[in-house]
Amino acid sequence: MFKLPPLPFDAAALEPLMSKTTLETHHGKHHAAYIRKTNAALAERADAPSTLEEAVRLAAREHDKKLFNNAAQAWNHAFFWQSLTAQKSEPTGALKAALEETFGSIGALREKAKARGEGHFASGWLWLVADAKGAVQLTDLHDADTPIVDPKVTPLICCDLWEHAYYLDYKNERGAFLDAFWTKLANWRFAAAQYEAARDGGAGAWRFPA
């Protein structure tokens, strides 16, 4: 049985960029429902994995859409909370160098990430990922899809593109939400730790709490 992990900050800590109401609904209702439905789907199986990462990969292998959608959303949201911070941060060190090599500058990365998120049709997630060589890339995935099913990459940070992530605060202005995320809310300290793990082949990367 997986439990809803608590937010790693107070629900009001990101105001006004992300409101307490948004976070209480997003975490307390949406995320909680994905966890509940994942547990219900796993309760039907004798071979239920002990980690959420394994549950996501098992569902992907077996094309079990119901389990995949709920388990991946349970995982993605927990990772998204880690991707947010009230203590504004900037990319540093080796991660900063890799981002500058790929995108030209951190400003250019932010513009590219905003454009990619705005251009994404309907629901999904925007991810920054890195491979074991340290190469970084932006990728947008649909619905519940998640990079943890790809053994070649480690996610560094993600932004939820589902309307429930921003509609109460930004209405239909996804671009304004993406600006806030990439310039103020993105947790680059977390991304830097993930980047170190990526270059170690994913060992030590963040895991959903067991």
Q: Is 2 in the site for Fe ion (CB under 5 A)?
A: no
Segment (H or E) for 101? helix 93-103
Q: Is 169 in the site for Fe ion (CB under 5 A)?
A: no
Stretch that binds Fe ion, among 10-18, 129-137, 157-165, 181-189 (CB under 5 A): 157-165
Task: Report how many helices (DSSP H) and strands (DSSP E) the chain contains, helices first.
Answer: 9, 3
Stretch that binds Fe ion, among 50-58, 99-107, 124-132, 155-163 (CB under 5 A): 155-163
Nearer to Fe ion (CB atom), residue 58 or residue 78: 78
Residues 53, 145, 160, 169: which binds Fe ion (CB under 5 A)? 160
Question: What DSSP designation does 45 have?
Answer: -
Stretch that binds Fe ion, among 39-47, 117-125, 160-168, 176-184 (CB under 5 A): 160-168
Nearer to Fe ion (CB atom), residue 79 or residue 162: 162
Residue, CB closest to Fe ion: 160
Minimum CB distance to Fe ion, residue 30 (Å)? 5
Minimum CB distance to Fe ion, residue 83 (Å)? 12
Strand order from edge to edge, sheet including 124-131: 136-142, 124-131, 153-160
Label residues 41-74 b or e (16+ Cβ within 10 Å = b): bbeeeeebeeebbebbbbbbeeebeebbbbbbbb
Question: What distance in Å separates the CA atoms of residue 156 and residue 170, rounded to the nearest whole number?
Answer: 25
Nearer to Fe ion (CB atom), residue 160 or residue 179: 160
Residues 34, 68, 79, 162: which binds Fe ion (CB under 5 A)? 162
Question: What distance in Å separates the CA atoms of residue 122 and residue 119, rounded to the nearest whole number?
Answer: 9
Number of residues that bind Fe ion (CB under 5 A): 3
Q: Radius of gyration of the chain from Cα atoms? A: 16
Pairing mode, if any, of strands 124-131 and 153-160?
antiparallel
Site residues (CB under 5 A) for Fe ion?
160, 162, 165
